[in-house]
Amino acid sequence: MIFWSSIQWMNKRHEPIPGCQSDKPRSFTGQGCSPEALRLKNYMQAQVPRNFRLLEELERGEKGIGDGTVSYGMDDADDIFMQSWTGTIIGPPNDKLEDYPILSQILPSFSQALFSSTVHEGRIYQLKLFCGKDYPDNPPSVRFQTRINMTCVNQETGAVEPSLFPMLANWQREYTMEDILTQLKKEMMSPQNRKLAQPPEGNEEARIDQKGLVLKCCIV
């Protein structure tokens, strides 16, 4: 019965909301909606049960996100509570002068040094996300498995500190795991993070989590 209800919900959520022009799933967009339809959408979103919401996120994750530099999926397909997830972030690339041909023509002596550069380019970071029973009303816990030096990450445990990461500190129910990963990728390009020295790639290290368990982690 629960499985059938889930199927019904997954089908129903793709039906257009009266007054909306968008063809995206209801819980991911409010664009193209009249004020009345947007209120209806927000009401319906607030009523989405936890597992149905996670099924939506799972479906979206399996289809692929954007340019493929951010991805996520469940750790155990048999986990009926859908708690443990693994996310992957490919470090953002550096801006290059050749990417802006018009600018290089106008200012041929324009310096490459003025473009944003980051030590994270090409690195692959793996994270663990844990969605508790109160998700999405409360945010998931987020922890880097891969060693990384960022201002919002605890260097001993790899945990993303909510007090230092505004998306978790000011969590809203419509935020998703995709939003978290995307925002963390943006944080890598922030002035305070893009130049920080990083642990060597390929080195395995032990890390103690908050429960005192040793976690083995490495850069893929």
Tokens 């004020």: give the residue: 35
Please report the pLDDT score of residue 117 as a whole number.
Answer: 72
Domain ranges of the chain: 1-48, 65-217
Q: What is the mean pLDDT of each run of 10 residues along the chain (220 residues)?
A: 47 53 48 62 68 95 87 96 97 66 54 64 96 97 97 97 98 96 96 92 52 41
pLDDT of residue 145: 96
Q: Which residues of 170-197 are buried (b: 16+ CB within 10 A; e: fewer)?
A: ebebbbbbbebbbbbbebbbeeebbeee
* Cross-strand pairs, 144: 127
What is the pTM for the complete model shown?
A: 0.68
CB 24 within 8 A of CB 33: no
Distance CA 148, CA 90 (A): 12
* The pLDDT of residue 1: 45
The CATH number of 65-217 is 3.10.110.10
Per-residue confidence (pLDDT) for residue 107, from 0 to 100: 56
Residue 218: the pLDDT is 40
